[in-house]
Structure 1
Amino acid sequence: MANIKYEILEKIGKISESPKGWTKELNLISWNGRAAKYDLRDWAPDHEKMGKGITLTKEELKRLRDTLNGMNLG
Structure 2
Amino acid sequence: MAEFKYEIVEEIAQLSESAKGWYKEFNLISWNERSPKYDLREWAPDHEKMGKGITLSAEELKILRDALNKLDL
Q: Judge same fold: TM > 0.5, yes or no.
A: yes
- Partner AA of 1:43 in structure 2: W
Counterpart for residue 56 of structure 2: 56
Distance 1:16 1:61 in 2: 20
Structure 1, gaps ≥5 residues long? none
RMSD (Å), alpha carbons = 0.8
Counterpart for residue 25 of structure 1: 25
Q: Residues 1-74 of structure 1 correspond to what in structure 2 (within 5 A)?
A: 1-73=1-73
Deviation at 1:5, TM superposition (A): 0.4
Distance 1:4 1:19 in 2: 28
Q: Give the structure-1-normalised TM-score.
A: 0.93
Distance 1:63 1:21 in 2: 31
Count of aligned pairs = 73
Structure 2, gaps ≥5 residues long? none
Q: Give the structure-2-normalised TM-score.
A: 0.94
Alignment deviations for residues 22-57 of structure 1 (CA, whole Å, 9 cap, x no partner): 011010000001111000011011100000111101
Q: Once the two structures are aligned, what percentage of the paired residues are identical?
A: 71
